[in-house]
Amino acid sequence: MKIPYYPGCTLKAQGLGFETSAIASAKAVDIEMMELQRWNCCGTVFSLASDDLMHYIAPIRNFIRVQEAGYDKVVTLCSMCYNTMKRANLLVKNDSEKLKTLNDFMYREEDYKGNVEIVHLLELLRDEIGFETISKKVIRKFNELKVAPYYGCMLTRPKEVGIDDWEEPQIMENLITALGAEVVDDPMRGECCGAYHTVNSKDLVAERTRMIVTSAKNRGADIIVLSCPLCEFNLGTRQKDTIEIYSDFSGIPVLYFTQLMALALGMGKEVCRFDLHYVDPRPLLIEKGIIEEGEEKNAR
């Protein structure tokens, strides 16, 4: 299947490996993700004020881009983009007056008709492809690699936009199992990482990172996988600041679920961009016999 793809800002910067691994592994299971030619930042957070239309412009403008391209569905990877765009879409679908005001404001664009759906790649894998089909395409053995899924906030909350149950989600667990890795049952998988407080309260984020990463680690996890570049930054890159504050803390690698998928489907360094992660997962993957030393250079 062919589907337009909305990347979001960070997938073109620090989260580049999320995008490249997603596009490659989606292709391996017959999903062709085509990046929208023109798109803007979605705003990353949904405005929660009833009288604030200004902050709905950015997500709705992106839906106009999908409509212009002649599609009624768009896929995204970043949990925050997914959440913001889905909520904005729901809002205008249920409130024609607000949609009209927004359309009038964006008079240079064609009117958004409210007919575009936004889906997360995880939903496509579960509902369109099926985890069974994916498991049949697995080439690489994970040798009992223990993986803790981390949902954070935006994939499952609030209820009306969640891709799975908001307290007991299973979608990432099922994907990890299908890919042949071992799932670690971690009660902290839906706890907030501290989100945007990373800008002005690094210590608040360090407290969260310590709690979430240590919980996964204590339950035997070798790595954490997730779907949000802000969670990746807070749970991964901020491990540096966490160690500075809590000297007893020691971390584990944090990867995107698509990197695990790319590995399982036989791809390597070119699409995974492990070099962009603060905690380099390669030593662990080599130790586990998942990749060979130097292998990631030519594997594809």
Partner 1 sequence: MPDKVKTKMIRVHIMGKEHLVPEGLTIMKAMEYAGYRFIRGAGCRAGFCGACGTVYRLKGDYKLYFELACQSAAIDGMSLTQLPFVPANKATYTVRLIKETGNPILKFYPEVARCVSCNTCTKACPQQLEVMDYIQAALKNDIEKAAKLSFDCIQCGLCAIRCPAEIAQYHVGQLARRVYGKFVKKSNQLNKRLNETNKGKFNSELDELMKMDKAAIKQKYTERDLESLAKKK
Partner 2 sequence: MYLKLSVKNTESDFVKKIEEISGENLMKCNQCGKCSAGCPSVSRMESLPNQVIRRVQLGDESVLEDDTIWLCASCFTCAVRCPKGVDLSKVMEALRLLTLRKNVNYTQIEKIPRDELEVLPPIALVSNFRKMTS
Taking CB under 8 A as the criterion, the residue among 69, 106, 237, 299 binding partner 2 is 237
CA 257-260-261 angle, 5° bins: 85
Measured distance CA(246)–CA(285) in Å, rounded: 26
Residue type for position 250: S
- Stretch in the footprint of partner 1 (CB under 8 A) among 101-109, 135-143, 161-169, 186-194: 101-109
**CB atoms inside a 10 Å sphere around CB 18:** 29
Quick one: what does residue 298 bind among partner 1, partner 2, none, with the CB cut-off 5 to 8 Å set by partner type? none
Spatial contact of 30 and 129, defined as CB atoms under 8 Å apart: yes
x/- site string to partner 2, residues 14 to 53, per CB under 8 A?
Answer: xx-------------------------x-xxx-xxxxxx-
Taking CB under 8 A as the criterion, the residue among 61, 93, 157, 273 binding partner 2 is 157
Is the peptide bond between 158 and the residue preceding it cis, with omega within 30 degrees of 0?
yes
The two tokens of residue 149 are 């899924």
Measured distance CA(123)–CA(144) in Å, rounded: 25
Instruction: Find where tokens 């989260």 sit.
Output: 15
Q: Which C-beta is closer to partner 1: that of 12 or that of 136? A: 12
**Could you give the 3-state DSSP secondary structure of residue 117?**
strand
Measured distance CA(245)–CA(239) in Å, rounded: 10
Measured distance CA(198)–CA(230) in Å, rounded: 9
58 binds partner 1 (CB under 8 A): yes
Taking CB under 8 A as the criterion, the residue among 34, 35, 55, 106 binding partner 2 is 55
146 DSSP β-pair partners = 182
Quick one: what does residue 50 bind among partner 2, partner 1, none, with the CB cut-off 5 to 8 Å set by partner type? partner 2
The two tokens of residue 167 are 């307290």
Taking CB under 8 A as the criterion, the residue among 105, 166, 246, 278 binding partner 1 is 105
Q: Which C-beta is closer to partner 1: that of 108 or that of 159? A: 108
Taking CB under 8 A as the criterion, the residue among 20, 89, 174, 198 binding partner 2 is 198
9 binds partner 1 (CB under 8 A): yes
Q: Which C-beta is closer to partner 2: that of 67 or that of 79? A: 79
Q: Which C-beta is closer to partner 1: that of 53 or that of 284? A: 53
122 binds partner 2 (CB under 8 A): no
Q: Which C-beta is closer to partner 2: that of 43 or that of 268? A: 43
8 binds partner 2 (CB under 8 A): yes
140 binds partner 1 (CB under 8 A): no
Nearest Cα residue to 197 out of 210, 213, 208:
208
Instruction: Find where tokens 């009624």 sit.
Output: 72
- 200-210 burial, b for 16+ CB within 10 Å, e for fewer? eebeebbebbb
Residue type for position 202: K
Quick one: what does residue 38 bind among partner 1, partner 2, none, with the CB cut-off 5 to 8 Å set by partner type? partner 1
Residues that bind partner 1 (CB under 8 A): 9, 12-13, 38-41, 43, 54-55, 57-58, 61, 105-106, 108
Residues that bind partner 2 (CB under 8 A): 8-10, 13-15, 41, 43-45, 47-52, 55, 78, 80, 153, 157-159, 166-167, 190-192, 194-201, 204, 207-208, 229-230, 233, 237
